[in-house]
Amino acid sequence: MSLKVYNSLTRKKEVFTSITAGRVGMYVCGPTVSGESHLGHARPYVTFDVVHRYLLHLGYKVRYVRNITDAGHFEEEGREAEDKISKKALLERLEPMELVQKYTNMFHWAMDQFNTIPPSIEPTATGHIVEQIVMIEKIIKDGYAYVVNGSVYFDVEKYNTDFSKLGMPYGMLSGRNLEDQLDTTRELDNQEEKRNRADFALWKNAPPEHIMRWPSPWGDGFPGWHIECSAMSNKYLGDEFDIHGGGMDLQFPHHECEIAQSAVCNHKTMAKYWIHNNMITINGRKMGKSYNNVIKLSELFTGNHPLLEQAYHPMTIRFFILQSHYRSPLDFGNEALKASEKAFKRLWEAYENLNKFEVGDWQMTDAELDAKVNKLIAEFDEFLDDDFSTAKVIANMFELVPFINGIKDKHLAIEALQPTTIHLLKQQMKVFIEDIFGLKQDVVGGDKLKGIMELLITLRKDAKAKKDFVTSDRIRNELATLGVLIKDEKGGEMSYTVE
RNA sequence: GGUUCUGUGGCCGAGUGGCUAGGCAGAGCUCUGCAAAAGCUCGUACAGCGGUUCGAAUCCGCUCGGAACCUCCA
């Protein structure tokens, strides 16, 4: 089996082969830290965390680069150029870098909650102003950019004419052609500096009120939106690297522009495989600031939002994301999230039960069942190889759950399966649930709680033995009001879960 | 308007032309002091209309919905 990924560039699933044997360079567009991350942001970072983990599982050495966009340089509502970050900083009476730091910290906190592996390098735009300026100078020198009033614009039309001949037309990633672009780009203000509507800024002149500004050969200003990714990916991953990822909404114009900038500098397509995740929607609509429908991650974890019926654990969100394919839209809903919460709990409990099985030496009694279980396990790899079909792997896991619980409850003899099958099941469930899917269950309370619960369980067992159901029910019911659920197991044993 | 997608049972969601995932919710049963948990069984869904085919949720066309992008955006 070999890994196949859907490449947005070719619109096909392709067999993945790394440019350098045994090593993978992956660049994922990171957050703009001008505000707190929301549910929508969770998707790419969880998705690419699984991609990252799976590549590691396959034995690759991965350099995973994910940037932090900490320089505001956008146009607000297509009006006058306004540094987003410095504007908000004024309102909040913070230093721009203080604000950026605050949201960077929050982002890291959220990523930690989701149990994502940190990238190998997390470069910031502000830390790479020099690299960006060097790149822009090269683009100007080659004649693909022009300077107007201290700003620098990329000449898309010239680029398209020249690079189409090299098989790299502008629009190759998003499937657009430049002519359509010229017709359909909306009328925007402050565009008179551009020679062409499709042109985009590499460097913007900063008006005096801008706090975030850097000196450049063209005067004080700040970098254009797209140049940081070209500059930083090139610095850390080279002229051509394996995977470039991000949300589908970045495909155009962001990634298209990245390709153009990098192509001018390196004459290569920048990345071999482009992977784009779909959006998280809410009531069928993309979650985004402009739609006024965002649920921040901190709100999600606490349940403190009008649309939320309860708090949701980060692992519930992670599991929810993994239950769908990364290229399908995923609709938020309380019902759906609650379903994921229960499902994950059931899966995890079965996983824990499985880990308690002791493997001995016996002859299997049910070859047919054994074969079925082996098939379900073997498909874990097969499905993930098929463009990271996490949802299908989870479905298989749920098909295994009844067998595991059946063995635990003695409905099914463990001897039905070969000892090696049990062993393999344990191993693969661990690998996929923990190592690749990055799911975990927090141990609540630690050893102290464990000791206390053992005592209470002993007391309850004694009470039950004496048919003192008043006492046994009291222990169970009062613990339940504290959020600790006692479950009676089949052989008179008891277990507990903490809500 | 242009580009690219998409429409699956109460809800969420996999689906490579035939073998009709999975989860949650719901119904019944088993186990059980009761409850919970667990196990077993059960809804035969693919927007509509045509077409291709021995056979289509899956391919093609049209119609009607919906989304993303075209402007900051994960």
pLDDT cut 90: percent of chain A above it: 70
Q: How does pLDDT run across A305-351, given as a tens digit for each residue?
A: 999 999 999 999 999 999 999 999 999 899 999 999 999 999 999 99
Q: Does one domain contain both A166 and A214?
A: yes
Q: Does one domain contain both A40 and A173?
A: yes
Q: Does one domain contain both A172 and A126?
A: yes
Amino acid at position A352, single letter: E
Domain CATH number, residue A400: 1.20.120
Q: Does one domain contain both A102 and A208?
A: yes
Q: Is residue A312 part of a domain?
A: no
Amino acid at position A224, single letter: G
Report if CB A209 to strand B is under 7 Å.
Answer: no
| pLDDT higher than 60, residue A47 | yes
Q: Is residue A366 part of a domain?
A: yes
Cis peptide before A253 (omega within 30 of 0): yes
Q: pLDDT-based confidence at A449, cuts 50/70/90?
A: confident
Report if CB A225 to strand B is under 7 Å.
Answer: yes
Q: Does one domain contain both A273 and A409?
A: no
| pLDDT higher than 50, residue A81 | no
- Give the CA-to-C1' distance from A331 to B64 in angstroms: 22
When pLDDT is averaged across residues A97-112 and rounded to a whole number, the result is 92
Q: Are strands A280-282 and A285-286 parallel, antiparallel or unpaired?
A: antiparallel
Nucleotides of B under 7 A from a protein CB: 1-5, 10-15, 21-25, 31-40, 66-74
Q: Does one domain contain both A406 and A488?
A: no
Report if CB A406 to strand B is under 7 Å.
Answer: yes
> Mean pLDDT over all residues of chain A?
89
| pLDDT higher than 60, residue A365 | yes
Q: Which of residues 133-162 of A touch strand B (CB under 7 A)?
A: none
What is the rounded distance in angstroms from the CA atom of residue A64 to the CA atom of residue A165? Answer: 32
Give the per-residue pLDDT at A74. 40
pLDDT cut 70: percent of chain A above it: 92
Final residue belonging to a domain, choices A277, A293, A319: A277
- Evaluate whether A362 touches A419 at the Cβ level (below 8 Å): yes
Report if CB A230 to strand B is under 7 Å.
Answer: no
Q: How does pLDDT run across A165-201, given as a tens digit for each residue?
A: 998 999 899 888 777 666 544 444 456 788 888 899 9
Indicate the helix (H) or strand (E) that contains A157.
helix A156-164
Give the per-residue pLDDT at A185. 47
Give the per-residue pLDDT at A195. 86
Q: Does one domain contain both A426 and A453?
A: no
- Residue owning tokens 């004694």: A462
Q: Are strands A280-282 and A221-223 parallel, antiparallel or unpaired?
A: unpaired
- Give the CA-to-C1' distance from A174 to B2 in angstroms: 13
Give the per-residue pLDDT at A497. 86
- Angle between helical axes of A446-465 and A469-481 (0-180°, round to 10): 150
Q: How does pLDDT run across A452-481, given as a tens digit for each residue?
A: 998 999 999 999 988 999 999 999 999 988
Q: pLDDT-based confidence at A492, cuts 50/70/90?
A: confident
Q: How does pLDDT run across A376-400, given as a tens digit for each residue?
A: 999 999 999 999 999 999 999 999 9
Q: How does pLDDT run across A111-123, given as a tens digit for each residue?
A: 999 999 999 999 9
Kindly tell me the burial class for residue A305, based on how many C-beta atoms sit within 10 Å of its own C-beta (0-12, 13-18, 19 or more).
Answer: middle
DSSP notation for A60-114: -EEEEEE-BB-S---BGGGSSB--HHHHHHHHHT--HHHHHHHHHHHHHHHHHHT
Count of the separate structural domains present in chain A: 3
| pLDDT higher than 70, residue A91 | no
| pLDDT higher than 90, residue A43 | yes
Q: Which of residues 344-403 of A touch strand B (CB under 7 A)?
A: 346, 349-350, 389, 391-392, 394-395, 398-399, 401-402
Residue A376 sits at φ, ψ, to 5 deg, of -60, -40
Containing structural domain, residue A353: 334-436
Q: Does one domain contain both A158 and A242?
A: yes
Q: Does one domain contain both A420 and A467?
A: no
Nucleotide lying nearest to A40, CA to C1' measure: B74
Q: Does one domain contain both A135 and A257?
A: yes
Q: Which of residues 57-76 of A touch strand B (CB under 7 A)?
A: 69, 74-75
Q: pLDDT-based confidence at A96, cuts 50/70/90?
A: confident
Q: Which residues of A62-95 are buried (b: 16+ CB within 10 A; e: fewer)?
A: bbbbbbbbbbbbbbeeeeebbbbbbbbbeeeeee
- Give the CA-to-C1' distance from A308 to B11 in angstroms: 16
Cα–Cα nearest to A300, from A335, A334, A325:
A334
Q: Does one domain contain both A392 and A421?
A: yes
Q: Does one domain contain both A371 and A468?
A: no
- Evaluate whether A308 touches A295 at the Cβ level (below 8 Å): yes
What is the value of pTM for the model shown?
Answer: 0.93
When pLDDT is averaged across residues A221-235 and rounded to a whole number, the result is 94
- Evaluate whether A221 touches A203 at the Cβ level (below 8 Å): yes
Report if CB A255 to strand B is under 7 Å.
Answer: no
When pLDDT is averaged across residues A249-278 and rounded to a whole number, the result is 94
What value of ipTM does the predicted structure carry? 0.93
Torsion of CA A431, A433, A438, A444, to 10 degrees: -120
- Nearest amino-acid residue to B30, taking CA and C1': A411
What residues pair up with A152 in beta bridges, in sequence order?
A: A147, A203
Report if CB A279 to strand B is under 7 Å.
Answer: yes
Order of strands, edge to edge, in the sheet holding A241-247? A61-66, A23-28, A241-247, A271-277
- Give the CA-to-C1' distance from A383 to B18 in angstroms: 22
Give the per-residue pLDDT at A362. 94
Report if CB A331 to strand B is under 7 Å.
Answer: yes
Q: pLDDT-based confidence at A498, cuts 50/70/90?
A: confident
